[in-house]
């Protein structure tokens, strides 16, 4: 019996110590603010540069159209299931894509504040610059956009997949549970001059949650002693992070779809191995994706398969080229 108590005690101490270490790590990191990295930073940087000047684009709104509320057990919860400020991530993705060479985003969400501030400047100049020979200085006109990006979060599906496994023997048990939710984002690019929808795309991202735990509930010494303990740990992927990842994936895909439709072109000078027909990937992922292809890698170690006719032109090294991986 003493051996059983020792074994149970050691198991509980091991589980509790692991949980305590994770709790302490979370507590330590909770007080350290940090810059949130882009979920798809590699894909964003891997997009070829635009051939020409930046495209001026406006984002008026990118709202939550799901109407879903945050799931809660046995209580009414009025909090939204997804972020209400997703247009911030849309603007960020447009600015960062292709190493910041693609889009010039103009302010439209805070248009009222912008107009008020410009009116304040005009009024101030009329008072203090009325005696100038040419009158008060005029403000420069606001930049107009040729394209508008619209869309929103149209779906949040809870419990798309739910499962788990567990077991119990003589009052000692352990279990693991998981749950998968899905968030869906749609976006489209509209031409201001014609009103036509030029591109439209939908992306989705899964949100994974898991929970593991163990517990003991056992009577010892003919029921005169009771040992009871439990430990557990859960991990929930942030919904905001998943929404941002879906938005970034949509912006990346819009750029590639626009190139296929002839709306813009990639800058050939950036890629001496020719304009990539496939999305460039880091070396390791590229070797796994195209195991039999001949790969070209640029100065950022992003690789893609090259056509047969371009083999002779890309085997030489220069200041920008890294290497060609022959197969």
pLDDT band of 46, cuts 50, 70, 90: confident
Domains and CATH numbers, the chain: 35-108+145-265 (3.40.50.10610), 271-327 (no CATH)
- Is 215 in contact with 178 (CB distance < 8 Å)? no
> 265 by DSSP, 3-state: which?
coil
Share of the chain above pLDDT 90, in %: 0
Residue 184 has pLDDT above 70, yes or no: yes
pLDDT, tens digit, 9 for 90 and up, residues 157-176: 777 788 888 888 777 888 88
Q: Which of 57-66, 158-167, 188-197 has the highest mean pLDDT?
A: 188-197
pTM: 0.68
Mean pLDDT for the chain? 75
Using CA of residue 146, residue 152, residue 154, residue 158, what is the dihedral sign? Answer: positive
* Helix/strand/coil (H/E/C) assignment for every residue in 223-261: CCEEEEEEEEEEEECCHHHHHHHHHHHHHHHHHHHHHHC
Q: Most distant CA pair in the chain: distance in Å? A: 105
Residue 154 has pLDDT above 70, yes or no: yes
Residue 47 has pLDDT above 50, yes or no: yes
- Is 182 in contact with 159 (CB distance < 8 Å)? no
């Amino acid at each position: 019996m003493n051996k059983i108590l020792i074994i149970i005690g050691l198991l509980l101490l091991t589980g509790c110590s692991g949980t305590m270490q994770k709790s302490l790590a979370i507590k330590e990191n909770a007080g350290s603010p940090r810059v949130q990295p882009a979920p798809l930073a590699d894909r964003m940087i891997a997009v070829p540069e635009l051939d020409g000047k930046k495209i001026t684009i406006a984002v008026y709104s990118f709202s939550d159209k799901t109407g879903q509320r945050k799931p809660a057990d046995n209580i009414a919860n009025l909090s939204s299931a997804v972020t209400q400020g997703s247009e911030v991530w849309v603007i960020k993705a447009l600015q960062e894509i292709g190493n910041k060479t693609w889009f010039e985003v103009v302010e439209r969400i805070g248009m009222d504040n912008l107009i008020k501030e410009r009116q304040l400047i005009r009024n101030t100049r009329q008072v203090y610059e009325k005696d100038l020979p040419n009158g008060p200085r005029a403000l420069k006109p606001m930049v107009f956009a040729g394209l508008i990006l619209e869309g929103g979060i149209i779906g949040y599906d809870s419990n798309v997949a739910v499962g788990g496994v567990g077991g119990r023997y003589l009052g000692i048990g352990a279990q693991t549970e998981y749950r998968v939710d899905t968030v869906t984002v749609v976006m489209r690019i509209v031409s201001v001059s014609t009103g036509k929808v030029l591109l439209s795309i939908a992306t989705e991202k899964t949100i994974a949650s898991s929970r593991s735990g163990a517990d003991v509930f056992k009577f010892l010494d003919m029921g005169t002693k009771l040992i009871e303990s439990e430990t557990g740990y859960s991990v929930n992927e942030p919904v905001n992070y998943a929404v941002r990842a879906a938005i970034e994936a949509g912006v990346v895909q819009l750029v590639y779809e626009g190139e296929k439709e002839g709306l813009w072109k990639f800058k050939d000078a950036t890629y001496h191995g020719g304009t990539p027909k496939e999305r460039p990937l880091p070396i390791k992922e590229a070797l796994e994706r195209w195991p039999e292809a001949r790969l070209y890698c640029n100065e950022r170690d992003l690789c893609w398969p090259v056509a047969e006719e371009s083999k002779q032109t890309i085997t030489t090294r220069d200041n920008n080229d890294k290497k060609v991986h022959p197969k």
